[in-house]
Every structure is written in C-alpha cells, then in structure tokens.
Structure 1
Amino acid sequence: MDIKLVALDMDGTLLTGEETIAAYNKERITQALDKGVRVVLSTGRWIGSCYPYAESLNLQSYLVTCNGGELWTMEKELLERHLLVPDRVKMMWQLCKGVGVNTWMMSTGDVWYGNRPDDFSAHEWLKFGCDSQDTDKLDMIVKELSYYDDLELTNSLPTNVEVNPKGVNKASALQRVCEELGITMDNVLAVGDSLNDMKMIQSAGIGVAMGNAQEAIKNAADYVTDTNEQHGVGKAIEKFIL
C-alpha cells in the first residue's frame, strides 16, 4: 500500500490513560511526517480539546473533530460542519435523564456535562453523548434512538453512546480530506479502538485496531497492533510506513 495519510483516533489510541502522547509515538509520527506522510487526528473530541495535541506534534494538515461533525484546517479554517436538530438533542437529553444515565452535549460554542441550556434551539449542536456502567440502560437508549433515521449511533467506549447526524462519521470526513489532498482512501492508514472508528477502519487502505480495541473493531481491522499503553500507534506506523 502507498500510504500517504495516517488517521489517528485519540482516546484509547494515540493517548495513554493519562491523556499524554508517549515519546515513542511522537518519534514515529515525526518520522512519518519527515517522509511526507500526512498525519490527521480523527477524534470524537471537539476542536478545543484536540488542537493542542496536534500543535505539539507539528501537524500541518487537517483535524477531524466530533466524530466527523466538523473538519478543520490547522489554521483553524472550518471546512465542514454537520449539526443535530435542537429538538432531537432535547429529546435525547430527556430520554437519558428518564433512564438515569450521565449526559454530555457538544455545541459549536460549549460542552455541557450533565446539565442543559434553558433553550436548546439557541445553540448549534454537534454531538450528543451519554454514559453509564449499567449496559442494560445503554441498551435501552440505543433501542429507543434506533427508531430515528436521522441519527448516527456509535461509541468511544463500551460504557457510552455517541450520536451525530446520520451519515456523519470519521470516514466521511476523511473522504473529504482525501479529496482536498488529491489522494484516495486506499492511501490511508487508519488506527482506532472503538465503534466510532469502525467506518474509517473499514474504508481505509489499511485499517488498524489497537490491542485494547473493542472486539468488533479487531474483527474489522486488517491488523491488530499493541495497546495504547504500549505504543500501538508508533508500532503500526513503524510496520507500515517506516
């Protein structure tokens, strides 16, 4: 494979449990950049919580944030934005409160943890999430939300559910990145660990699952690397690029 772009999930993938980037991973990313390979963070995080990591790695191209809800350049130019309908966000918040799970919501201007705005329609909503250690409760949430055909359901941990507008995912955002760069998804090495990484791993020329990935991701991937605590990202870059 002629890999020209590496797409990296962050939590559970590039980052350790302490939310740091190991020196080994930094070194391998730098070596890939020196070879002319683009590196793109492709994350469920919003721009404010991932941009500093991209800066620390001296990345120069794009940022896929909010599971593909937004696509940014490293100059903070917004290329794409996909929003949830405010009434849907209000409905999901009420559903989660009724079931008894924790919630978080990302608007274009803020992140709401556990609380809600007075007026949902006064905000532009990028992503909705909920979490619980009670997987039966999460199953209830997934079942109820599955009736809405305008929602895209994934997770970033087995203990949460994440919701974007239908058709919005990391793979669709990376497809736009490829168009901007004049390459195809066959030229992409994608690395991740959770269901919100599934489509980009399936669509990439080489899809890599972390050693700590959910089993479904390992089954879908072309290759399983080491865990996020054992430099799995750096080892994948070393194997396929360096």
Structure 2
Amino acid sequence: MNPPWQPGWRPALVGLDVDGTVFDAGQVVGQRLAAAVERAVAAGAHVLPATGRSLSTTAPVAAALGVEGWAVCANGAVLASLDPPQVVEAVTFDPRPVLQQLRPDLPGALFAVEDADGVFRSTRPFRPGALGVGEAVVTPYEQLLDLAAIRIVVNSDAHVDTGLGEVAARFGMHSLLFGIAGTAWLDIGPQGVSKASMLERLRRHLGVAAADTLVIGDGDNDLEMLRWAAVGVAMGHAAAHVQDAADWVTGETPGDGAAEVLEALFG
C-alpha cells in the first residue's frame, strides 16, 4: 500500500507521541529515531513530543531526541518551550466537582491534581515511574479541591482487573482521556482539550499550513490528533480503532516504527 502523501511532500510540523511510539517500557530513545529526527529538524521541520507526560518527564525525552523547540504535554493542557523547559500556556479547570463526584465511589483510591507549573499534589505518593507523571507532593484531599488543575489523576488498586472506565462512564465524564485496566488509572483533563487542540494552537502560532502537519501515535489519547493532522500515522501495535482513525499504519516496534515514517519523508 502506497503512503498517503504525495511524492516530495514534507511536513513542517511533526508531533510524536512518547510512550509506545518514541520508545517502549524501557524508555530509551533509539539511535535510529534520534537520527531520523535530526534529519527532519535539519530540513526545517518543527518536531515535538505530544504526550500525556508532564513537562518534567517530557524534557529529558525531547533532549534525547535532539528536539529543542516545543512540547505539548499533559494530553494538550500544556504547551511548553524546551530551551529551557518552561510552561508557555496552560489550560486549567476547577477539580472540585470531579473529585467530589468520584471519591465516594473510590474511597481507597489515590487522587492527584497537577497544576499549571507541572507540580503534582496527591493524597499519597505515586509508585516509582508511574506513567511519566514524575514526583508528587503528598497533600490532604481537602487542599486538592482548591487548586487550579490542568488534570486530575485517579489510581485505584481495587480496580486493577477491571479498570476505571466503567466508573468514569457512570458519571458521564466525557473529559476522560484514558483508563488503563492494568494500572486502574484515570487521566481527566479540561473539557474540550486534547493533544490536537494544543497542536492546532501551536500550528497557528508557527504559521504552518494545516496541510503540512503529521503526527504519530498509538493510544486512545492520540485519536483526536490522528484525525486532526493532514497525515495521521498509527503504530502497528495500536488497537484496531486507533489504526482506523489514522491515514497510515507504520511498523509495530516503538521507535523504529516512527523512524520508518521520518526516513520515508526526510531520507
């Protein structure tokens, strides 16, 4: 099957999901992908991470990729510059209604709020390396209610087998970004915010044509940006509904699959 782009086309804005796309659970950026990103940047493309991670855990990935411009973090709630790492724009919301709605049904869960500076405050510590969210400041639940949030994180060990998707659906939480059965994890962001919405803001800021955008991703939190981009590429290991949302499917191996796309476009 031929790629969906015309011969000679090169995107001016490239968004890369991180976990499952840039690398696997080992969290090591491969030399092949780093070299492909270097060629894309040398050709004038804006290449950036577009991730659910916080800025603190995104910046080292960007450095390993050789990217020094921009990053979309927290599933689109944060736009950051990378040299040095700092928040340029953040979309916040009031966490009180969501927390008060969920807590009675999840009395033993960890509740956390991330603020606009990328600081997590949680009712107890995260497990080491928990989904790229970084360190957390242990904070009483009542104090979480008064924060301005860019996202709420909920983790319940009692729901490891079933996940938390049913809980979120019961409360009609359309802002739910993902619920992972293996970790019983919810990531709840501002209404109407996604990786795609922040990429669109950045595209306009940079003056890049909508027809010159490309993204690569593998998860449910990539669906909007796969549909947003002129060319959306899904990883070969992505679920069928994620692949269906894309214009093209690359290889299954994190890192190498993304590199294949950039090599085809930038040599």
Which bracket does the TM-score occupy, shorter chain normalised? 0.7 to 0.9
Matched, 1:225 2:250: yes
Please tell me the root mean square deviation across aligned C-alpha atoms, in Å.
2.4
Does the aligned pair in 2 maintain the 1:95–1:141 contact within 8 Å?
A: no
Does the aligned pair in 1 maintain the 2:47–2:67 contact within 8 Å?
A: yes
Counterpart position of 1:81: 90
Structure 1 residue 33: deviation in Å? 1.0
- CA distance in 1: counterparts of 2:123 and 2:86, whole angstroms: 30
Does the aligned pair in 2 maintain the 1:154–1:196 contact within 8 Å?
A: yes
Structure 1, unmatched stretches of 5+, are none
- Select which of 70, 73, 78 maps to 2:78: 70
**Larger CA Rg, structure 1 vs 2:** 2
Structure 2 residue identity aligned to 1:176: R
How many residues are treated as equivalent by the alignment?
Answer: 237
Q: Once the two structures are superposed, what CA deviation does each residue of 1:55-106 show, in whole Å capped at 9, x if it has no partner?
A: 23331321101001111112344332111313134225515624x6665542
TM-score with structure 1 length normalisation?
0.87
Counterpart position of 1:183: 208
Structure 2 residue identity aligned to 1:123: L
Change (3 A) 1:96 1:162: farther
Does the aligned pair in 2 maintain the 1:156–1:196 contact within 8 Å?
A: no
Counterpart position of 2:175: 152
Does the aligned pair in 2 maintain the 1:16–1:22 contact within 8 Å?
A: no
- CA distance in 2: counterparts of 1:8 and 1:133, whole angstroms: 28
Does the aligned pair in 2 maintain the 1:63–1:71 contact within 8 Å?
A: yes
- CA distance in 2: counterparts of 1:91 and 1:166, whole angstroms: 17
Q: Once the two structures are superposed, what CA deviation does each residue of 1:168-198 show, in whole Å capped at 9, x if it has no partner?
A: 1000100011111101332111011111111
- Select which of 32, 45, 48 maps to 1:40: 48
Does the aligned pair in 2 maintain the 1:14–1:228 contact within 8 Å?
A: no
- CA distance in 2: counterparts of 1:88 and 1:234, whole angstroms: 42
- CA distance in 1: counterparts of 2:215 and 2:68, whole angstroms: 18
Where does 1:100-139 land on structure 2 (aligned, <5 Å)? 103-109=111-117, 110-112=119-121, 115=124, 117=140, 118-130=142-154, 132-135=159-162, 137-139=163-165
Does the aligned pair in 2 maintain the 1:44–1:156 contact within 8 Å?
A: no
Counterpart position of 1:11: 19
Counterpart position of 1:197: 222
Change (3 A) 1:25 1:186: same
- Select which of 214, 218, 233 maps to 2:239: 214
Structure 2 residue identity aligned to 1:133: V
Structure 2, unmatched stretches of 5+, are 1-8, 125-138
